Each structure stands twice: as C-alpha cells, then as structure tokens.
C-alpha cells in the first residue's frame, strides 16, 4: 500500500475525526500548538492585504477550523483534502460563519500532489500541518506554485522535528540527535513498533478504572486497525530547502508556539515564557527562535 492509500485509509476510517474540532479549544499543549500555528498563518495572510474577492486554495483543510476564518475574511476559498469525512466536517464549520462579503467556499476530496486546477488560478495557497503525510512533499509544493498566479503567495506551516516540545526530555534529545545524525526521513514512534502490544494489554486491564486508559485503549486500537502511516520529519531547514527547490521566493519565516509538554508544574510561568518568546520571534527576522518553534511557518512568493 503506497503512502497516499495509507493516508486515505487513516483519514477515512478513523472514527473520531470530530476531535480535531475540539483540539483547537483545549487548554493543553495540543490545543496551544494548533492555535499558535493558525494565528501565525493568519497574520501572514492578513499582511498580504489581498482583495476580498481573492481566490485561496487550502491544502489539507482537516476539520475546517482555519478554513472558516479564511472564509469569514471574505475570500473565495477552495479546499483539497484526502478525506470524505473531513469534507463534511469542514463544510459544517464554514456554514456556521458569515463572510464579510459574498464570498464562497467549496471543499473537495483530492490529492495535493496532483491538483486538478489550471495554471495561474489562485492568489494564495495555504497549508497547515499536512505535508508530513505525503510521499513527495516537494511535488506538492511545485503543484502549489503551478496553480498560483504570478506574484501569488504560498503560506505553509508544519510541526518542527527540532521544536522545543520535541527536545524537552532525555528520550526526545536522543531521538532528535538520531534524526540529526542519520538525516532520517520519517518520524520514530513507539506505537509503530511491537511496543504497541504490551501497552494495549496494559490499557485493557486498567481501562475500567481510568478514563485516561480508556482513551489510550481506544487510540491504540484505532492505530492498530488503520496501520502504519509514515510521517515525514520536517525541520525549518528541510522545509526551506523544499520551497527553494520549487523556485518560490521566501519572503518571511516564523516560529509558532514555544510551550513544551513539561508545563504542568508551573503552567502560568510556562505560558508567560511562551508568550515572550513568541513576541520576540514575531518581531525578528531570521532569528534562531524561528528554528525552534513547535511549528515552522513560511511565506513565499511566485515571481513573474
């Protein structure tokens, strides 16, 4: 089974896709990571000052949480994702908002590596956290360039393999060092090894007494049913290289989110540190902070 088929299976067979809606509102690391990257992408989008009738293509729209904010701004939005289920969820979320003018939206099921649009169609192409599911991310970025109008913009954000939350413990340090030394392409995840079986057995025994274990049992059973979906590791430099290989000109870079998973002992202090680092990152260009945000963000341009 190729990468596209594996990803399609995951996002069409998973039973609890609605949870991606709730993640955006959760007061935890996952919710913060999603909101942080979305905020930075929308800041980049707003900085372009596009006309209200501009045509925007969103790749990997997921539950449509960011899509609704793009549509609400008055842009004509088309979305491409691999999941029929997510198409319905995203449509529902966009139907809840009222755009600033007579904007339209349409979500389609398709392949981001082979876009079914003519050349020079869109004013902006946006993608949030999806290219790690692709077998050939560079092909997708080249396709994004093809469908962009001359002087059109490409905004992309992706989870960072060297972000603060990926190096906040000794095991993660070892994993990140291994990534660095081997230039590894895919993420290392314990649930993709034989370790899943003892963890699943433990979860079965403890589940009747623990809500957390019940969730863990459910998640592991889903993972076991769907199978391995390799995730491409992405860093600031790796994504930068892909964008340059697609002959897009990088205009801005940024980091998004500086909260670690180890924030439960001093949550208020952790949030203040995150806010301070984010503020510095937003103001500075080419700073080290861009490379260690939990997500990396790029704004690029298709030159004439």
pLDDT in tens, the chain (304 residues): 577 788 888 888 777 777 778 888 888 888 999 999 999 999 999 999 999 889 999 999 999 999 999 999 999 999 999 999 999 999 999 999 999 888 999 999 999 999 999 999 999 999 999 999 998 999 999 999 999 999 999 999 999 999 999 888 888 899 999 999 999 888 888 777 778 888 888 888 888 888 888 888 888 887 777 777 788 999 999 999 999 999 999 999 999 999 988 777 788 898 999 999 999 999 877 789 999 999 999 999 999 7
* Confidence (pLDDT) at 64: 95
Angle of helix 3-13 versus helix 211-226 axis, rounded to 10: 140
Tell me the C-alpha distance between 54 and 73, whole Å: 10
* Confidence (pLDDT) at 19: 77
* Confidence (pLDDT) at 226: 74
* Confidence (pLDDT) at 222: 77
* Confidence (pLDDT) at 236: 96
Burial class (CB in 10 A: 0-12, 13-18, 19+), 81: buried
* Confidence (pLDDT) at 212: 84
* Confidence (pLDDT) at 49: 96
Tell me the C-alpha distance between 153 and 125, whole Å: 6
Domains of the chain: 3-164+230-301 (3.40.50.150), 166-226 (no CATH)
Query: Per-residue pLDDT tens for 71-83?
Result: 999 999 999 999 9
* Confidence (pLDDT) at 285: 76
* Confidence (pLDDT) at 300: 98
297 contacts 253 by C-beta, under 8 angstroms: yes
DSSP H helical segments within the chain, as ranges? 3-13, 19-23, 29-47, 65-72, 84-95, 137-147, 170-182, 196-206, 211-226, 236-245, 267-283, 288-292
117 contacts 149 by C-beta, under 8 angstroms: no
Tell me the C-alpha distance between 304 and 301, whole Å: 9
* Confidence (pLDDT) at 164: 93
Q: Which of 178, 185, 163, 177 lies closest to 230, judged by CA?
A: 185
* Confidence (pLDDT) at 62: 92
* Confidence (pLDDT) at 113: 94
Helix (H, G, I), strand (E, B) or coil at 238: helix
């Amino acid at each position: 089974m190729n990468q596209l088929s594996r990803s399609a299976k995951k996002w069409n067979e998973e039973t609890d896709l609605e949870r991606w809606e709730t993640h955006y509102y959760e007061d935890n690391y996952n919710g913060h990571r999603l909101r942080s990257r979305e905020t930075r992408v929308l800041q980049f989008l707003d900085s372009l000052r596009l006309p209200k009738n501009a045509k925007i293509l969103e790749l990997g729209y997921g539950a449509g949480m960011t899509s609704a904010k793009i549509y609400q701004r008055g842009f004509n939005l088309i979305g491409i994702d691999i999941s029929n289920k997510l198409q319905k969820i995203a449509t529902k979320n966009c139907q809840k908002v009222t755009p600033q003018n007579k904007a339209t939206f349409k979500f389609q099921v398709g392949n981001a590596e082979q876009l079914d649009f003519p050349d020079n169609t869109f004013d902006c192409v946006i993608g949030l956290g999806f290219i790690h599911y692709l077998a050939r991310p560079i092909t997708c970025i080249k396709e994004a360039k093809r469908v962009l109008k001359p002087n059109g913009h490409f905004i992309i954000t992706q989870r960072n393999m060297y972000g603060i939350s990926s190096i906040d413990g000794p095991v993660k340090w070892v994993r990140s060092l291994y990534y660095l030394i081997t230039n590894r392409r895919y993420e290392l995840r314990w649930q993709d090894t034989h370790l899943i079986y003892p963890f699943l057995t433990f979860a079965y025994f403890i589940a009747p007494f623990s809500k957390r274990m019940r969730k863990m049992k459910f998640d592991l059973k889903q993972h076991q049913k769907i199978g391995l979906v390799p995730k491409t590791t992405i860093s600031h430099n790796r994504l930068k290289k892909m964008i340059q290989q697609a002959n897009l000109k990088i205009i801005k870079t940024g980091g998004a989110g500086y909260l670690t998973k180890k924030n439960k002992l001093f949550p208020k202090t952790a949030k203040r540190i995150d806010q301070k680092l984010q503020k510095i990152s937003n103001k500075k260009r080419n700073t080290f902070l861009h490379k260690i945000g939990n997500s990396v963000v790029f704004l690029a341009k298709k030159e004439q």
